[in-house]
Amino acid sequence: MVEHLYNSPIGEKKLICPWQLAPLIDNFLRPIVHNPRKIFAPYVAKGMTVLDIGCGAGFASLGLAELVGEEGLVISADIQPKMLSFVEERALKAGLYDRIRIHLCEANRIGVRERLDFAVAFFMVHEVPDAWALLKEIFKLLKTGGKFFLTEPKIHVKSSDLGQLVQDAQSIGFEVAEKPRVRFGQTVLLVKNA
Q: Where along the chain do its domains lie?
A: 4-192
CA dist., res. 169 & res. 155, Å (int): 22
Assign domain 4-192 one CATH number from 1.10.3080.10, 3.40.50.10190, 3.40.50.150, 3.40.50.1000.
Answer: 3.40.50.150
pLDDT number for residue 8? 35
Going 69 to 73 to 75 to 81, the CA torsion angle's sign is positive
pLDDT number for residue 22? 62
pLDDT number for residue 185? 86
Instruction: Using alpha carbons, select from 107, 116, 164 the residue that is nearest to residue 140.
Output: 116
pLDDT number for residue 25? 67
CA dist., res. 103 & res. 80, Å (int): 10
**pTM of this prediction?**
0.86
Instruction: Using alpha carbons, select from 34, 52, 8 the residue that is nearest to residue 181.
Output: 34
CA dist., res. 184 & res. 14, Å (int): 21
In the chain, what is the greatest distance between 2 CA atoms, to the nearest angstrom? Answer: 44
pLDDT number for residue 157? 85
Q: In three state form, how does the secondary structure of 58-106 look?
A: CHHHHHHHHHHCCCCEEEEEECCHHHHHHHHHHHHHHCCHHHEEEEECC
pLDDT number for residue 12? 45
* CB-CB contact of 23 with 38 (8 Å): no
H helix runs in the chain, sequence order: 22-25, 30-33, 36-40, 59-68, 81-94, 131-141, 159-172
* CB-CB contact of 53 with 84 (8 Å): no
pLDDT means per 10 residues, the chain with 194 residues, are 33 56 64 83 98 92 97 96 93 96 92 97 89 96 98 87 94 97 91 92
